Structure 1
């Protein structure tokens, strides 16, 4: 009798756990929630586009180009194209979903509406990795360019003990931690003020890259592209895996859905406009860089573009100094914009109950989640001060690619589940486009090293433990519905 009684209980328990892991947010509910959100709507199309450009442009060109060129040779231009195509497929999916679900949660919210709570948590946890770790990686690169600028202008640099993490011959990367703290101060002032600062910095870094191309092309040598594929297609793939890091951030506009004035119209446009501008600049800079300096010499420093100009026009000129100033401003803009996106992801997850409510508390005067900003900034400062650049860049790429694959799948699911839902943008040639996006993400992930996969697995294990111990029990979808008293 006992065994007969326990079977239904086990079955009911298993069904209950399964239903909790697969429970979904309704699309209409997500849209309504975004409409009555506490964040202030201050951003138009220009500000949203510049937010995505600010979060993206500079990360790869100013920081990891020196890592990708030795992997792909002159074919690094094709690595940029491959990484850009991978980003484009996902950008199209982001554009459809951002116009359909204009909230602050980006791909986390899209997964919650389509694939269920567990997958949404995994996606959100990947975004924490993508945004938080990429801020730290760019902050490390910022410190490299500060040192480069000091050497060019005053002839000395910060001591290695204070300008590099333990794994790179130092003790503490003070400049990297300092720029994260500076971005935190700007973000605490409010989204409107942050957008103005970001717009100024984007203009400076675009001008710096145009200046680089103009100067580098004066030393262009076609022979630097012979042979074009010295390391074969495997090198192109490896280069694309590294350079995909340089496209991370085009989705930043999707995290501003609740601060956009007209999110359904402007979010899809901002995402696609920013990716087009970024890809064009990346390819132009890559051609100019390899044309001005043999690819074998790209190694040993994150301040690659300054090295190219020094090689092209000689030391002691004004051009490397101006480029280094532009690089410092560029990486500052990336830190600011990506750090902004990180706080909005956690804001959305906290509102759903999956992380503590402190992350969703909005300050009445500034209109921003202040405690969220301070906690995230402190975490990123520790990473930036203690972890080398290479490990941070690869960890960021794998988390992003996983999230992008989920976004492509979410478009297909919502097309089938809610075919009549309002869409201000539709992915062309779906489902082919979305399928190619998923496959491209998997292909680029395959090019990452075993150490990166191990780190990703450990990160996922920690995330699942946090969800099991906190998120599943505090989820807003798991709370009982409010009682309504009878009038009889």
Structure 2
């Protein structure tokens, strides 16, 4: 019997194409609401625009290439399964652990932004308390069932897109290109070589515009027709996100003094406040509806990290305890709770995570991005490897313009990794420590499995 099918109950195939598109966009859309504006602090508006366009091109080529892997190997572990197929257990561990760090560290940053938005409306509400409350509510919703969770995700995503369009419409009467370009090159009005380091330093925050879209791959085992629906969801999703990212960034920067929007968790309400005033009903509406975007990503990434923990545990890369499926709801409830515990701990780890002159949110974002970039590199390497070693593997979708698209995505990811290490050496050290600690557990469990197999064979003999 297949190991993936040996445990009952199992994940249920209930997700359609529209729901998968909702997950693809919903996973990412909080990146249009906050996080990206930290890039303005180092690169300025124009410098960050160049960085963001480069990252958008990297993501577009990556998604077109990644979809080949997703449709060829539909698996709840996503990148873990692709790298394991290409490079064996070690490759599987590296990709799985990197993806897990990406998806476990993204939700605390989003939860803190949810708390910041609520604090605007209710100053007495502590942002961290609200963040923990968000974890409890949406972990529960994810446990109840994937179809319910995906339907809720789709609704939140549609409302979030509507709100971003409303934001652009409301601030457009006060938009000025002069505001956007003033000091747009790392504080200078004209480009100089001195602006380039700031553009590289802003890479993590440009990635935040698109981070986690690859999480749809982790719903592959729950999709009705993954080989058809996932390519449509991915391609439509990346187009939606690029258009929204450019629109939000340009309209926010043109609303007034953009320097006041850098290094804060709620740039859109603050940008709108410049145009409509502090007591406008438009502002209150933005705060409330803005929560939908944050909730969509927060809720969707919980779905993503839980499937990654579940898949790794199912293959004994993590304790098998986390591979348990809820007998009634058919969801990996223990994996959902485990990721939530880590996220809540991160929210209260100010002294550990707030260092290097960066805010708590900025460092959590950077940690998540390190995981993502590592996974992107391994995924593109796996694509090239499998094209050589498994030429006859069924590929319902093939990467267009091969090998140019995957090569560009791989090269872009390598550039991102190198520059991020240079500008965030301490965060990278912590990321590497997580990876090394997990590898120690991987080796321990590998030895345990081998010993168990040897004893079983001896008893049988």
Shared fold per TM-score greater than 0.5: yes
Task: Report the CA distance between 1:476 and its aligned residue.
Answer: 12
**1:461 equivalenced with 2:426 (yes/no):** no
Cα 1:63–1:474, aligned 2, differ >3 Å: closer, same or farther?
A: farther
Q: 2:27 aligns with which of 43, 55, 65?
A: 55
Match of 1:306 among 233, 249, 269: 269
- 1:177/1:354 CA distance change after superposition, 3 Å: same
Distance 1:307 1:157 in 2: 19
Q: Assess if the C-alpha contact under 8 Å between 1:222 and 1:291 holds in 2.
A: yes
Whether the aligned pair in 2 keeps the contact of 1:177 and 1:385 (CA below 8 Å) is no
The equivalent position to 2:282 in structure 1, one of 319, 325, 343, is: 319
| 1:94-173 equivalent positions in 2, closer than 5 A | 94-150=66-122, 156-158=123-125, 162-163=126-127, 173=128
Residue 304 of structure 1 deviates from its aligned partner by 0.6
CA contact (8 A) 1:245 1:396 kept: no
Where in structure 2 are the equivalents of 1:73-472 lying within 5 Å? 73-75=44-46, 76-150=48-122, 156-158=123-125, 162-163=126-127, 173-224=128-179, 225-226=181-182, 228-229=184-185, 230=188, 232-387=195-350, 388-448=360-420, 449-472=424-447
DSSP-derived class of the 1:335 partner: helix
How many Å apart are 1:227 and its aligned residue?
5.5
Q: For this pair of structures, how many residues does the alignment match? A: 437
In structure 1, the gaps of 5 or more residues are 1-28, 151-155, 164-172
Aligned to 1:42: 14
Equivalents in 1 of 2:347, 2:446: separation in Å? 27
2: CA distance between counterparts of 1:214 and 1:373?
38
Larger Rg belongs to: 1
1:78 Cα deviation (Å)? 2.4
Task: Tell me how far 1:468 sits from its aligned partner.
Answer: 2.0
CA shift, 1:226, in A, is 4.1
**Counterpart Cα distance in 2 of 1:190 and 1:476:** 37
Which of 36, 53, 61 aligns to 1:65? It is 36
> In terms of mean alpha carbon deviation, does 383-392 or 201-210 score higher?
383-392
Could you tell me the TM-score, scaled by structure 1's length? 0.84
Question: How far, CA to CA, are the matches of 2:163 and 2:373 in structure 1?
Answer: 29
Give CA deviations for 1:160-200 in whole Å, capped at 9, x if unaligned.
xx43xxxxxxxxx2111111111111011000110111111
C-alpha spacing 1:198/1:373, structure 2 compared with 1 (3 Å): same
Stretches of structure 2 lacking an aligned partner (at least 5 in a row): 189-193, 351-359
What is the root-mean-square deviation of aligned Cα atoms in Å?
2.4
What's the TM-score once normalised by structure 2's chain length? 0.89
Question: Does the 8 A contact of 1:241 with 1:445 survive in 2?
Answer: no
CA contact (8 A) 2:32 2:244 kept: no
What is the rounded CA distance, in whole Å, between the counterparts of 1:447 and 1:52 in structure 2? 27
Q: Deviations over 1:235-258 (max 9, x none)?
A: 333223322123112112100011
Q: Write the distance in 1 (CA, Å) between the matches of 2:369 and 2:219.
A: 22
Q: Cα distance 1:419–1:232, how it changes in 2: closer, same or farther (>3 A)?
A: same
Contact 1:56 1:334 in 2 (8 A): yes
Are 2:142 and 2:149, in contact at CA under 8 Å, matched by a contact in 1?
Answer: yes
Q: Conserved in 2, the CA contact under 8 Å of 1:93 and 1:407?
A: no
Contact preservation (8 Å) 1:427, 1:433: yes
8 Å CA contact 1:72–1:236 kept in 2: the answer is yes
Distance 2:259 2:453 in 1: 57
1-side partners of 2:363 and 2:239: how far apart?
28
- Contact in 2 for aligned 1:53/1:249 (Cα 8 Å): no
Separation in structure 2 between the aligned mates of residue 227 and residue 385 of structure 1, nearest angstrom: 35
8 A contact 2:95–2:374 mirrored in 1: yes
